[in-house]
Structure 1
Amino acid sequence: MTREALKQEVERFLEAYSLCPEGKAAAQAYLEAFGTEHEQEKAKALIQEIKEDITGIDDLIAFAESEAGKAVFGEEGAKNTASAAKEAKAKGEDTCICPACQSGKILLANEREIIG
């Protein structure tokens, strides 16, 4: 991935509705530092935040099927999320299917290019 493509992926990551506040802060800090002497430092922090937050597909399924998941997604939303996650897992997906985790997965796959 080119540097510009990686920057665009971080922008997509930042825009994900499912991104937590800490992820938003790390992505914003990275984008603000992009092309400066602080970029590598902020890139490392961003990658660390993604590693802490990214969710596996089995964890998503378990959460969606739990009472906590029903409280977050609503009864129907939890059922739909669990169903979609199981379908994705059957097709080989190993990561949560939300936009933040999917974008984070791409960024982690390109960790060396981001950190430099």
Structure 2
Amino acid sequence: MTRKDMEKVVQDMIAAKSCYPVLRARGEEWLNAGDTDTEEAAWKKLVAQAKVDIMPIDDLISFAASETGAKVLGKEGAEMLLKHAQAIKAQGAEYCDCPACKGAAIVIEYENLYD
């Protein structure tokens, strides 16, 4: 994957409503560090944050089934998310498939982008 390709992945990830603020900040830092001596260090920070913020599918299922999930998403929203999460887990998903987590998964997959 080229840096330009990864820029699109990171831009989509940080634009997602579901992207955590610190992950968004790390993504912006990396995007802004292009062709500088801080680019690789910014990438390593982004990868580390992606590993922290990506939501494992079992955590997503637990959230969707919880009272907190119902409060945040509404009862129907939580039920829909729970069904969706269970379905993608049955298909082999390891992580949430929201745009932020999809982007984080790609960042993690290409953590050695600069090697």
Query: Which bin holds the TM-score, normalised by the shorter protein?
Result: over 0.9
Structure 1: distance between partners of 2:8 and 2:37: 19
Q: What is the deviation of 1:40?
A: 0.7
Give unmatched runs, 5+ long, in structure 2. Answer: none
What is the aligned partner in structure 1 of residue 84 from structure 2? 84
What is the aligned partner in structure 2 of residue 99 from structure 1? 99
Please say if 1:10 is aligned against 2:10. yes
Structure 1: distance between partners of 2:97 and 2:10: 17
Structure 2: distance between partners of 1:68 and 1:97: 20
Counterpart of 1:110, as a letter, is Y
Superposed CA RMSD in Å reads 1.0
Q: How many residues align?
A: 115
What is the aligned partner in structure 2 of residue 109 from structure 1? 109
Identity percentage of aligned residues: 37
Structure 2: distance between partners of 1:65 and 1:3: 38
Counterpart of 2:35, as a letter, is G
Q: Give the ranges of 4+ consecutive aligned residues of structure 1 lying more than 3 Å apart after TM superposition.
A: none
Q: What is the deviation of 1:34?
A: 1.5
Structure 2: distance between partners of 1:82 and 1:34: 39
Give unmatched runs, 5+ long, in structure 1. Answer: none
What is the aligned partner in structure 2 of residue 63 from structure 1? 63
User: What's the secondary structure of 1:111's corresponding residue?
Assistant: coil
Q: What is the deviation of 1:17?
A: 1.0
Query: TM-score of the superposition, structure 2-length normalised?
Result: 0.95
What is the aligned partner in structure 1 of residue 45 from structure 2? 45
User: What's the secondary structure of 2:112's corresponding residue?
Assistant: helix
Please say if 1:32 is aligned against 2:32. yes
